[in-house]
A and B are shown apart, each in its own frame.
Chain A
Amino acid sequence: MIASIQTKDHSITRTLQDFFAGMLKTGAADAVLVPSRMSDSPYVKPCLIASHDRLDRTVPLGPGFFVNAGPMMSRLTRTRAGSTLVAWLRPCEIRAFVELTKLRQGAREEVVIIGMDCPMALSRTDYDDWAGQGNDMSDDVEKWIQTVYQKPVTQVDAWPVSRACQVCDAPYPVNADVSVMLLGGDLDREIALRADTEKGEKLLAEMDLSEGQEPERRKALLADLETERTEAFQAMDEEMLDQTGSIESLNRFFSACVNCYNCRSVCPVCYCKECVFNTDAVAYAPTQYLSWADKWGQVSLPNDTVFFHLTRLAHIGCTCVGCGQCTLACPSHIPVSDLFISVTRNARKAFDYVPGRDDAEPLPLSVFQESEFTDIVGMGNKEAT
C-alpha cells in the first residue's frame, strides 16, 4: 500500500511535522521519535515527543546527524511500555536497531518504524559551517532537501558529504514498517509513503491518507546512487588498504589515537554496558610493561591501541552498520569508520550476512552449520585471504 501526503506551503518539514502531529492527535502514536533542535542551536538530536504542539523544532530531514538513534530506540524498547511509539529513522539507524534487537537490547513490538530515503549527512565540522549560527534554519533545510533528493550529490554547495554516507550501500529504508520514498519525488507537491508491514499499513490507514505511488524517477536514481557509491567504496577500500595494509601502516594509522574509546561509545552496535578495555581484564602488572619495553626497546603508552581496534573489528565485524559516527566522534580526526566500513563490509561476506537486512537472520557467530568453511580447516591448504 502506498499513500501520499500533500505538501503544504512548499515546506516539506512543516508537512512532516503536521503528519507527526496528526499521529499524536488521532492516537495512532503515543509518542514520536524525531530529530529535533532543543533550542535555537543548530544541533539536532533524536527527541521523544508526546505532545502534538511540540513538533515545531523537529528537523525530520536535514544534513545533521550527531547521534545514531539505534541505541536510543534500544533504551525506549528494552522492556514493554504498553504504548505505541512511532520512530522516524535513517536507514543506518534502522539497521543498528535491528542488530540491537538481535542482541536483545530492544524490541520492535511496540514500535512503528518510519524509514526514510537518506542520501547523506554532513560531517560534524562541515555541518557547523553549513548551519552557521542561524536561528531559523528552515529555508536552508528546504533548500537542502530540494537538492539532495533529486540527483546523486557528493557535496552540498561547498560542503562534502560525509565519507560514510558517500559509500553507504543502502541509502533507502530496509526493514522499516513504513518507507518514505523521497528520492526523485516531486516533493513540492507530495511525499510518498509505502507500508512494508501490517503495522505500517495500520498506521497509514489510521492517518487517512490519499493513495500515492512511488516517484517515477526513484528506482533509476537509486541505481545511479548504487553505481556511484560502489565506486566510492572501492576507492575508499583501496585507500584504506594502502594506508593500513600492514601492521606497520596500521600502527601509523592509529598513531594519533589516545585510547579515549569515543568511537566505541558512539558506536550504535557496540552495545556492551562496559567495554572490556575499560575493565580489569586488560590490566597489566608494572613488570609486564617493563618486559615489553625490554623486548621492543621501548613501549609507548597507553598501549593496546591496535589490540582495541582489532578487537572491536572482531566484535562488530558482522554488525557494523556504516553510520560513520565513530569518525564524527574521534577527537584525533582518525577516519575510523573508513577503515571499519572497508574491513567489515568485506569480512561479513563470508557469512552472507548484511546487518539490518532481516530480523530473522541470526548473528553469524551465534550459529553454525555442521558442514561449512571446510576450506579453512587443516594444514597445507593455501586458501585465499
Chain B
Amino acid sequence: MTDQIGKTLVIGGGISGIRASLDLAQAGYQVLLLEQSDRVGGLLSQLDTQFPTSTCGMCRMLPMMERDRVDQQCLRRGLSHDNIEICVSTDLISLKGDPGNFSVSFLSQTDGGRDDCPVLVVDDEKIVRDSMKEWLSEEGYPVQTADSAAEALNLLAEGSFKVMLTDIKMPGMDGVTLLTRAKEIQPDLAVVMMTAYAAVDTAVEAMKQGALDYLVKPFDPDAVLQMVDRIFKDAVAENARKDTVDAVILASGATFFQPNLGINPYGYGRIPGVVTNLEFERMLSHAGPGGMDLVHPVTGRPVTRIAWFQCVGSRDIQTGTPFCSSTCCMISVKQSLLAKTMYPQVTEACVFYMDLRTWGKASDDYARQAKKAGVRFVRARVHSLAPGLKENDTGIPVVWLDPSGDRRESLFDLVVLAPGQHPDAFLSGFAKDQELTTDDWGFVRPEPFLSGHTNRPGIFVCGGATGPRDIHDSVTGASAAALSAMQVMASAGRQTVQNPEKTESTGLRSDGVSLFPGALVIGGGIAGMAAALAIADQGFDVDLVEKTDHLGGNLVWLQTAIEGAGSFLEEQTAAVQGHDRIRIHTRTCVADTMGRPGQWNTRLTPVKDTAENTDADRPEQLAENGSPPDKSSGGKSPDVQVRHGVVVLAVGGAEASPDRPLPDNGPGIYTQQQFQQALDQDAIDTGSPLHVAMFQCQGSREPGRDYCSRICCPRSLDQALRLKAGHPDSRVVIFYRDMMTPGLSESAYTEARKAGVVFVPYEPGNTPELAADNTGCRVNWTDPILGRAMEMAADYAVLATGIQPGLSRDLARLFGADLDRSGFFDQADIKWRPVEAMDPRVLACGICLEPGNLALTLASARAAAAKAVSLLSRETFFPGKDTARVRSAFCSLCQICIDACPFNARFIDPETRTLKVDPLACQGCGICAAACPSGAAVVTDRSLAPMIKTIHAVLNQPL
C-alpha cells in the first residue's frame, strides 16, 4: 500500500483523450495528456456541428460536479482541469514498463527540434562536404562545413555543435587528432568518423578515443541520415521529460484517406471544385474561407449544386480499404442537410452512396430530415470525374448509372468527397514498438469481451485507434478505457486526490455533499452484470436487481451464436455471484424510491408470480393505480430498502415483434431470434441444402420504430454464412434496405457475398411479398437491377425485426430520467454524455440505452461504471462557487424557477416547505434568477444587484 496518487498517461488530445482524461480526473486521479498537435480537441476543433443534432455540444463533456476545478469555457478555447497536465505539441519519445509502473518520456516540439542540433562536417573533399550539407540541411539540420581540422577547431571555438562528422585522412591535422582536440573544447560533442573501407581499423581505434561511431565511404545518404538521426534522438531523449504512470490510454485517433493518393479517379487536387468533406466543413463554417457565404474555392462564385461522393478510401479494394469508415455517410447527411437549410442558394444537394449507413438510434431519422429538406440520395457510385470544359466552365460533369440502369448526367459546382478513416503513422509506430495486436489494416484490436483492453496489460485503447469510430462510440469507449485505467491504479494501491478544500488549513467548507456510497444496478443481463462487477471491484457496494430468476439476459440465448460468449457469460455470472460486494436480488423489481438524487432510498419488492415478467420492471405502485405493493406474504414484508448514490438502468430489451401481419405464421416463418435459437439447437438441418429468405428492417427504420437496431444485419450475415458453411448449395437471399455493416464488420458482408449469398435491395413501399402455407414460404419480388419479377420458394423466412427497448417510462421517471422518442433511455446528450441522464447520478447501459451488439453493450456498461465509480470515489463534493441559492424570505414558492431549471436542481423540501437547490445538480447558469420575479433565486454575481452595477459600469466607461 502506498499513498501515491494514481496517474495515467493519455496519448492523444482528441475527444476520446479528453473524455478519458476528464473521467479519470473527476475520479481524482492524475492525468498526463500528450498531444502532438498544438491544441486539444482533435478533429472536432474543425467541426462546428455534429450529427444527428446539427449542433455542437462538445462543452457538455465538462464534468457537472466540482465545476470549479475545470475552466468553464468552450472546449475550442481549451481545456483545463486541476488534475490534468496537458502537454500539446509534444511527442512521445519512449514508453516502457508494466501496469503500475510505466516510465514515459516525452518531448515538447518547441524544445529540441532538429534546428537545435547543429552539425559540423569536416572533409577536405568539396564534393563530400557539399553533398553531406545538402542531405542534412534537407532534413532540417543546421549544417556548417570545414575543409580542414584547423578550420573545424575555429568553428568549434566560435559556436557549439551537437554532431561532428569528420574525415580521418586530411592534409594537416588528421581526423583522429581533431577528435581529441574537439573533445577538449566540447566534451559532449558526438563525433562520427568518416573513412574509406581500407581505414576501418583507424576508425575503430578512434572510437576507443571517444568517437561515437564511424561511416564507411562511399556512403549512401540514408546511412548518414540514420546515423545523425540516432545521435539527435539520443541527445533529445536526454532533454525529454520523464514521468512514471500506472496505466496508459492510447487515444491517438485515426487519419483520413488522402484522395490524391493512388489512381485518384475523382481528380482531387486536379479538378477545381473537388474537395474533401473536411474542407467542405470549413466552407460551411462562417469561420472558414468565404466567411458567411458558401462560395466556390477557386472561382469565388456562389455554390448552388453540390454532390457528395461516399466511400472514398472505404469499401474500396482499389485503395486497399475493404472496411467501411462508419461515419462518412452521416457526415454527408449532416453536410447536405446544413447546406440545404443554411443556404437557400443551394438548389441541388445530392449524395451518391452505396449503402446509406444510418445505423444506431437517431441517425435514420436524421437522414429522413435531410430527405425532407430536399437532399437527394442516389444509390450509385460515380466511377470517375473529368474536368469540365474550360471555355464554358459550367461545372463538373458527373455521370452515374441509376438503379434501373439508365445513365444520368448532371453538372455540379462542388463535389465533396467523403474520405475514409485510416490508421495513422503514429499508431503504426506505437503498435509496433509496444507489440500491440493489430488487425489486418493496422488498427489496434481490442481483446474480445474487454472493451478497450489491448494485448498489453495496462495499455488501453479507445477511439479511432481501434477502427473507424463516430463521436458517440469514441466517447463511450473512452470512458470504458478510463475505467480500465482506474482498475489498474486501484490494484496498484494508488490513491485519489480528494478535494483540496478538505486539506486547506483555512478551515473546512461546511457545504460539502456526499453521495450514499453504493450503486443500484437494475437489470441482470450482461450489461448490468458488467457494470455491477466493475463498480464492486472498485470497492463499492452494489445491489443488482433482476426481474427473472436468473442472470444473463439476452446473452443466455445468444451465447452459442457468439464465439466465446458462453464461457464469458459463465465467468461473469460466477464473478457476480461470488462477489462479496454485490447483493443479487432475482425475481425482484423496484417498487419506489425516496430521498433526493444521490441519497436515494429505494424499495425493492418481489415480482409477483402472476405478473408478467415483461412488465415487472415497472414500478409497482405506479403500475397498479397507487395501491400499495403486496406485503402480506408471511406477515413480514419481503421488501428490501436499498440506499444508493448512483443508479444504473440496465433493463435491456427484447427482439421486437413483427409489425406487419404475417401469413398465418406459416411453419417456415421465424424471427431472427427464433431462427438463431433453432440453429443453435440444431432444430434446422443445415447440412442439407436449404432455401432461406431473410428480411431486414422489418418494422424498423419506419415511422413508429424509426431507428436502426444496428445488430440485425451482422446477425443475418452470420446466419447466412452458417447456412452456406453447412451446405454450399443452400440458397440464401437477404432482402435489405441498406446493409448496416459499419466499420470492420463490412468484412462479413463481403464474406457472405463470396459465399454466394444473394442480396436484394428494396425500398419501403416496395417490400418483397412473403406468402406461406403448409408446404413452405414463397417470396415474390422485383429485382431492381434485373428489372424482373422474381420468385423463390423458401424453406424458411427469417424476419429481422430489431430491438425493442424494455425500459418503462415510470421506472426512468422514478429517478428523474426519461425515455426518448423511440423508447430508449433519454441521454443527456446523445454524443457527449451518452450513458448519463441529465442528472449524472442516473446512468444507463446496454440495449435499454441504445441498440447495439455485445461489444457495444459491454462498452456502455463499462462507461456507465466509470461514471459511477468516478462519482462514488469522491468522499465529499463541494458545490461550485456559483451554485444557486434561495432567499426564502422572498420566495413565493411559485416554482417558476423549478420549471426553468434545465437540470432539475430545484425542488420544494417537503419537510420545511421551502425551495431548495440540489448543489450537485445546479450548474450555476442563472436561468432561475432570470425567471424569478422576486429576486428570491440568486446566483452569485449573476443576479439583479451585481448586474445593475455592471450595466452602470459598462455604460459609463468613456468611449
Contact partners of B288 in chain A: CB under 8 A:
none
Does B894 lie at the interface of the complex (its beta carbon under 8 Å from any beta carbon of A)?
Answer: yes
CB distance from A297 to the nearest CB of B (A): 15
Q: How many residues of A contact B (CB 8 A)?
A: 22
Query: Are B893 and A272 in touch, CB under 8 angstroms?
Result: no
| Chain A nearest CB, measured from B499 CB (Å) | 32
Within 8 A of A (CB), among B471-501: none
B180 CB within 8 Å of chain A: no
The interface bits of chain B over 891-927 (1 if a CB of A lies within 8 angstroms of the residue's CB, else 0) are 1111110011000000000000000000000000000
A276 vs B933: C-alpha distance in the bound complex, in angstroms? 7
Bound-state Cα–Cα, A271 to B892, Å: 7
Q: Other than the known A105-B892, A273-B889, A276-B890, what 19 A-B pairs have Cβ atoms closer than 8 Å?
A: A103-B894, A103-B896, A104-B895, A272-B892, A273-B934, A273-B936, A274-B889, A276-B934, A276-B935, A279-B890, A279-B934, A279-B935, A281-B935, A281-B945, A282-B945, A288-B952, A366-B899, A366-B900, A366-B931
B927 to chain A, nearest CB (A): 11
Can you show 11 pairs from A to B with CB atoms below 8 A apart?
A: A272-B890, A272-B892, A272-B933, A273-B892, A274-B889, A274-B890, A275-B934, A276-B933, A282-B945, A365-B896, A367-B899
B681 at the interface (CB under 8 A from A): no
Interchain CA distance A375-B889 in the complex, whole Å: 40
Within 8 A of B (CB), among A278-300: 279-283, 288, 291, 295
Q: Mark B927-946, 1 if CB is under 8 A from A, else 0.
A: 00001011110000001110
Residue in A271, A276, A283 whose beta carbon sits within 8 Å of that of B894 in the complex:
A271
Question: When the two chains form their complex, are residues B931 and A365 in contact, meaning their CB atoms are under 8 A apart?
Answer: yes
- Closest residue to B908 on the A side, CB-wise? A104
B948 interface residue (CB < 8 Å to A): yes
Q: How many angstroms from the CA of A121 to the CA of B38 in the assembled complex?
A: 75
The answer to whether the Cβ of B625 comes within 8 Å of any Cβ in the partner chain is no
* Closest residue of A by beta carbon distance from B948: A282
- A363 located at the interface, meaning its Cβ lies under 8 Å from any Cβ of chain B in the complex: yes
A251-286 interface code vs B (CB 8 A; 1 in, 0 out): 000000000000000000001111110011111000
In the complex, which residues of chain B have a beta carbon less than 8 angstroms from the beta carbon of A276? 890, 933-935, 944
Contact B934 A105 (CB under 8 A): no
Chain A residue with Cβ nearest B894: A103
- Tell me the chain B residues, 855-894 only, with Cβ under 8 Å from chain A: 889-894
* Chain A, residue nearest B938 (CB): A281
Q: Say if the beta carbon of A8 comes within 8 Å of chain B.
A: no
Q: Is A75 an interface residue (CB 8 A)?
A: no
User: Do the beta carbons of B945 and A274 come within 8 Å of each other?
Assistant: no
In angstroms, Cα B944 to Cα A277, docked, is 11
On whether the beta carbons of A105 and B952 are closer than 8 Å, the reply is no
Q: A272-B934, A273-B890 are in contact. Are A280 and B945 (CB under 8 A)?
A: yes
Smallest distance from the beta carbon of A253 to chain B beta carbons, Å? 23
A315 contacts B933, C-beta separation under 8 Å: yes
Q: Is B632 an interface residue (CB 8 A)?
A: no
Contacting pair A281 B956 (CB below 8 A): no
A-side contacts of B936, CB under 8 Å: 273
Cβ of B897 to closest chain A Cβ, rounded Å:
10
Chain A residues, CB < 8 A from B931: 365-366
Q: How far is the CA of A369 from the CA of B891 in the complex (A)?
A: 28
Collect the chain B residues with CB atoms within 8 Å of residue A104's CB: 893-895
B945 contacts across to A, CB distance below 8 A:
280-283
Q: Among residues 360 to 383 in chain A, which have CB atoms less than 8 Å away from a CB atom of chain B?
A: 363, 365-367
Contacts of A103 in B (CB 8 A): 892, 894, 896
Interface centre among A274, A280, A282, A315 (most CB of B within 10 A): A274
Contact A105 B933 (CB under 8 A): no
Please judge, given known A-B contacts A274-B889, A295-B956, whether A282 and B944 are in contact too, CB under 8 Å.
Answer: yes
Question: Nearest chain-A residue to B952 (Cβ)?
Answer: A288
Cross-chain contact of A363 among B891, B892, B896, B948 (Cβ < 8 A): B896
The residues of B that contact A288 with a CB separation of less than 8 Å are 952
Contact yes or no, A274 B934, CB < 8 A: yes
Q: Which residues of B contact A272 (CB under 8 A)?
A: 890, 892, 933-934
B contact residues around A367 at 8 Å (CB): 899
B 765-789 to A, binary, CB cutoff 8 A, 1 in contact else 0: 0000000000000000000000000
* Alpha-carbon gap, A16 to B27, bound state (A): 71
In the docked arrangement, what's the CA distance between A282 and B900, Å?
23
Which of B891, B895, B896, B944 contacts A273, CB < 8 Å? B891
In whole angstroms, how far apart are the Cα atoms of A295 and B936 in the complex? 32
A307-348 contacts to B (CB < 8 Å):
315
**CB of B545 to closest CB in A, whole Å:** 35
Docked pose: A280 CA to B945 CA in angstroms: 7
Closest A-chain residue to B930, C-beta based? Answer: A365
Chain B contacts for A271, CB-based, 8 A = 892, 894
**For residue A365, which residue of chain B has the nearest CB?**
B931
Q: CA of A62 to CA of B891 in the docked complex: distance in angstroms?
A: 36
Query: What residues of chain B lie closer than 8 Å to A105, measured between beta carbons?
Result: 892, 894
Assembly CA distance A273 to B891 (angstroms): 6
Q: Check if B896 sits within 8 Å of A281, measured CB to CB.
A: no
Q: How far is the CA of A291 from the CA of B891 in the complex (A)?
A: 33
Q: How far is the CA of A103 from the CA of B948 in the complex (A)?
A: 27
Chain A residues, CB < 8 A from B889: 273-274
- By Cβ-Cβ distance, the 9 closest A-B pairs, closest first, are A272-B934, A276-B935, A281-B944, A103-B894, A281-B935, A366-B899, A273-B892, A315-B933, A281-B945
- The CA-CA distance from A274 to B932 in the complex, in Å, is 12
A360 → chain B, closest Cβ, in Å? 15
B741 → A minimal CB distance (Å): 34
B665 to chain A, nearest CB (A): 43
CB nearest neighbor in B for A363: B896
Instruction: Name the distance in Å between A299's Cβ and chain B's nearest Cβ.
Output: 13
Alpha-carbon gap, A104 to B897, bound state (A):
12
Q: Which residue of B lies closest to A74 (CB)?
A: B892
The complex places the Cα of A281 from the Cα of B948 at a distance, in Å, of 9
Report chain A residues within 8 Å CB of B896: 103, 363, 365-366
Q: Cα distance A279–B932 when bound, in Å?
A: 14
Cα A105 to Cα B891 with chains together (Å): 12
Cα-based distance from A355 to B899 in the complex (angstroms): 19
Max chain A CB contacts within 10 Å: which of B889, B894, B936, B956? B894
Across-interface contacts of A291 in B (CB, < 8 A): 952, 956
A250 → chain B closest CB, angstroms: 20
CB distance from A271 to the nearest CB of B (A): 6
Nearest CB of chain A from residue B662's CB, rounded to whole Å: 39
Q: Mark B497-524, 1 if CB is under 8 A from A, else 0.
A: 0000000000000000000000000000
Q: Which residue of A lies closest to B896 (CB)?
A: A366
Question: CA separation between A283 and B945, bound complex, in Å?
Answer: 8
Task: Digitize A128-159: 1 where CB-to-B-CB distance is under 8 Å, 0 elsewhere.
Answer: 00000000000000000000000000000000
In the bound complex, CA of A364 to CA of B298 (Å): 49
**Residue of chain B at shortest CB distance from A276:** B935
Q: From B899, which residue of chain A is reached at the shortest CB distance? A: A366
Name the residue on A nearest B895 (C-beta): A104
- The minimal Cβ–Cβ distance linking A327 to chain B, given in whole angstroms, is 22
Which residues of chain B are within 8 angstroms of A295 by Cβ–Cβ distance? Answer: 956
- Give the residues from 146 to 162 in chain B that come closer than 8 angstroms, CB to CB, to chain A: none
Residues of chain A contacted by B890 (CB below 8 angstroms): 272-274, 276, 279
Q: How far is the CA of A104 from the CA of B889 in the complex (A)?
A: 17
Bound-complex Cα distance A274 to B933 (A): 10
Q: Give the CA-CA distance A366 to B890 in the complex, in Å.
A: 20
Contacts of A279 in B (CB 8 A): 890, 934-935
**Complex Cα distance A105/B892, Å?**
8
Residues of A within 8 A of B895 (CB): 104
